[in-house]
Amino acid sequence: MGLQEREILNEAEVDILISRMTRQLIENHNLFENSILIGVQPRGIYVANRLKQKLKELSGIDVTTGAIDTTFFRDDFRRKDKPLLPSVNNIDFSIESKKIILTDDVLFSGRTVRAAMDALMTYGRPSSIELLVLVDRRFSRNLPIEANYVGKYIDTLSNERVEVMWKETENIDKVILVKK
Amino acid sequence: MNTLSTKHLLGIEPLTPEDIKLIFEVADNFKDVINRPIKKVPTLRDITIANLFFENSTRTKLSFELAEKRLSADVVNFSAASSSVKKGETLIDTVNNILAMKVDMVVMRHPSPGAAMFLSKEVDSVIINAGDGTHEHPTQALLDAYSIREKLGDVKGKKVVIVGDILHSRVAISNIHCLKKLGAEVKVCGPLTLMPKHIESLGVEVETNLKKALEWCDVVNMLRIQHERQEIKHFPSLKEYTLQYGLTTELLESIGKDIVIMHPGPINRGVEISSEIADSKNAIILNQVENGVAIRMAVIYLLAGKI
């Protein structure tokens, strides 16, 4: 039996979710004077970029965005066959006393978010960290971590994988569920 | 390709160009890490590394130790001067005793060429060569090439001249291998008495006139005269060496172009390089030292993934 694919979100639906979460962010962060969006490498940066774009469209705010790489902070080093290769960090501003919104495409075990928070703390002490994800695979957490903003909750089995595609990399905005 | 083709770092010669590029890419990330307010990552918290130095070293030892600590590895240090080696223990026994204490990786400097290779065949551990006699000093060559890449954008096509005591220099041998693998052109320059036989077989040209070498190159790497390895005199006097092969402001001004100045340290100011030049804007000697930590973190990280 090969791979089975099922579409969960199409382009229009992804856009609706991004718009809704942007509005939720505006409610909580007003003019974003003290708030920063940080995408978790490698795929969370696309979420951050979309939110930044949408925020500009909806309210003209140009929010600061960055990227954080979790490779050196992961807890599965040496549990994989090959060492993971890191991506770049892009934090050329102070995060001291800032409100950080971490963004990622899919929330699954929570381990990446844990690593991202640890990585972030090496840059300084933010006043708060929130988590925003496009897709939350609920009931699959290994750690007590929950997102503050969720695009869509989905229920999945452990042999399924959620893939988020972006125009920037796959030429289409789409979320699919792949069954092995 | 996200893994090295080798289990140990014994020298540059066995590495592929892809290995070297991979190390550079990972080193970029670690350079970012060591410039943060908190310069440490928890990656290797379950790894113990032994630094075995059978020969004196300040910079390399410190640099390795910092690299290990910034990766959160546990570190044990050993120097031959204060050990049982003096009581007649063999190298294999010494290392096996250390490994029996559950050490995962060994960084070793040794006065005998081939010591790291020998050890890698005899003991079950990851070995990183931190200099073996006059053979190789791979991490130095990596950080030198990395520093050139950082300063000039790329190593490929650049003209590099290595000046000085090539005969006793593991830095020169490793540098030649590394630069050639990355596509640079390399010349060596110094008195013929300090040139190893058949050095041309490594694909380098020999030039005995420093001025001519400088007119040709983009980068000059000045080496120290290794008095401690010279059993006989290779040149009449240090003064005479300085007159012919010392890098001075007058000499560089007479060339009239910007040349990147490198030195692996320790510097003998006023011998192979004048103080003015060593502190000038074209000298990247301290950048080399900074990059040394990032390069060593990258090497340790990539090899530790294979334990």
Half-sphere exposure of B265 (CA within 13 A, CB side): 18
* Residue whose structure tokens are 């073996």: B132
Give domain status of residue B239, yes or no. Answer: yes
pLDDT digits (tens, 9 = 90+) for B295-304: 999 999 999 9
Q: Which two tokens stand for residue B149?
A: 């890449």
- Residue B229: is its pLDDT beyond 80? no
In chain A the domains, ranked by start, together with CATH numbers, are 11-76+84-156 (3.40.50.2020)
Asked whether residue B4 is domain-assigned, the answer is no
Q: Is the distance from CB of A21 to CB of A151 less than 8 angstroms?
A: yes
**Rounded to whole angstroms, what are the CA distances from A96 to A25, A34, A91, B79, B83?**
20, 10, 12, 42, 47
pLDDT band at A20 (very low <50, low <70, confident <90, very high): very high
pLDDT in tens, A46-105: 999 999 999 999 999 999 999 999 999 998 887 777 778 888 888 888 899 999 999 999
| Interface contact A83-B25, CB threshold 8 A | no
B282 with B151, same domain?
Answer: yes
Residues of A with CB under 8 A from a CB of B: 69, 71-74, 77-78, 80, 82-86, 88-89, 118-119, 121-124
pLDDT beyond 70 at B84: no
The domain containing residue B192 runs over which residues? 139-286
| Structural domain contains residue B106 | yes
B145 and B279 both lie in a single domain? yes
Query: Is there a domain that residue B3 lies in?
Result: no
pLDDT at B248 over 70: yes
> In the prediction, which pLDDT does B82 show?
64
Query: What are the pLDDT digits (tens) for A98-108?
Result: 999 999 999 99
In a domain, B6, yes or no: no
Same domain, residue pair B197 and B92? no
> How close A172 comes to chain B (CA, Å)?
27
Percent of chain B scoring above 70 in pLDDT: 97
Separation CA B78–CA B88 (nearest Å): 16
Could you tell me which residues of chain B have a Cβ less than 8 Å from any Cβ in chain A?
2-3, 22, 25-26, 28-29, 32-33, 36-38, 40-44, 46, 71, 301-302, 304-307
**Interchain contact, B2 vs A82, CB within 8 Å:** yes
B181 and B153 both lie in a single domain: yes
B293 and B257 part of one domain: no
Q: Closest partner residue to A83 among B33, B37, B305, by Cβ?
A: B305
Most confident of B85-89, B98-102, B111-115: B111-115
Nearest CA in chain B to A84: B2
**Residue B49 pLDDT level (bands cut at 50, 70, 90):** very high
3-state secondary structure of B178: helix
pLDDT at B85 over 90: no
- Structure tokens belonging to residue B24: 């550079």
Average pLDDT, chain B: 92
Give me A100's structure tokens.
């950080």
Q: Any long-range contacts for B95-99 (C-beta under 8 Å, 24+ apart)?
A: B95/B52, B95/B119, B95/B122, B95/B123, B95/B125, B96/B123, B98/B50, B98/B52, B99/B50, B99/B123, B99/B124, B99/B125
Which residue from B37, B71, B307 is facing A122, i.e. has the nearest CB? B37
Task: Please tell me the distance in Å from B39's CA to the nearest CA on chain A.
Answer: 7
Q: Which whole number is the average pLDDT over B184-205? A: 93
CA proximity to B259, closest of B211, B223, B307: B211
- Tell me whether residue B10 is exposed, middle or buried, using C-beta atoms within 10 angstroms of its C-beta: 0 to 12, 13 to 18, 19 or more: buried
User: Are residues B262 and B152 located together in one domain of the fold?
Assistant: yes
Residues B262 and B296 in one domain: no
Contacts of A84 in chain B (CB under 8 A): 2
Nearest to B41 among A72, A80, A85 (CB): A72
Spell out which residues of chain B touch residue A97, defining contact as CB-CB under 8 Å. none
Q: Using one digit for the tens of pLDDT, what is the confidence trace for A114-171?
A: 999 999 999 999 999 999 999 999 999 999 999 999 999 999 988 899 999 999 999 9
Give how far A84 is from chain B: nearest CA, Å.
7
With an 8 Å Cβ cutoff, are B29 and A86 in contact? yes
What tokens does B152 get?
């000039």
pTM: 0.89
pLDDT tens, position by position, B124-183:
899 999 999 999 999 999 999 999 999 999 999 999 999 999 998 999 999 999 999 999
- Asked if the model's pLDDT at residue A42 lies above 70, the reply is yes
Q: Chain A to chain B, count of Cβ pairs less than 8 Å apart?
A: 58
Top residue of A41, A71, A81, A85 to mutate, by most chain B CBs within 10 Å, is: A85
Secondary structure of residue B175 in the 3-state scheme: helix
CATH number of B107's domain: 3.40.50.1370
Distance between CA atoms of residues B175 and B161, nearest Å: 10
Q: How far apart are the first and last CA of chain A?
A: 8
With respect to residue B9, please indicate whether it lies within any of the assigned structural domains.
Answer: no
CA distance, residue A151 to nearest chain B CA (Å): 31
Residues B282 and B145 in one domain: yes
Q: Are residues B205 and B106 in the same domain?
A: no
pLDDT at A172 over 60: yes
* Residue B1 included in any domain: no
| Residues B112, B61 share a domain | yes
Closest residue on chain A to B47 (Cα): A78
- Residue B162 and residue B153: Cα distance in Å, rounded? 20
Task: Tell me what the mean pLDDT of segment A13-34 comes to.
Answer: 94
Confidence of residue B67 (pLDDT cuts 50, 70, 90): very high
Order across the sheet with B185-189: list the strands. Answer: B205-207, B185-189, B159-163, B219-222, B260-262
B100 and B146 assigned to the same domain: no
Beta strands A174-179; A4-9: pairing state:
antiparallel
**What angle (nearest 5°) sits at the alpha carbon of residue A84, between those of residues B99 and A102?**
125
Distance from CA of B267 to the nearest CA of A (A): 35
Q: Tell me: pLDDT of A1 over 60.
A: no
Indicate the residue of A78, A82, A123 with minimum beta-carbon distance to B3: A82
**Amino acid letter at A83?**
P
B39 and B72 together in one domain: yes
**Rounded to whole angstroms, how far apart are CA atoms B170 and B179?**
14
Number of domains in chain B: 2
Chain A residues near residue B305 by CB distance under 8 angstroms: 77-78, 80, 82-83
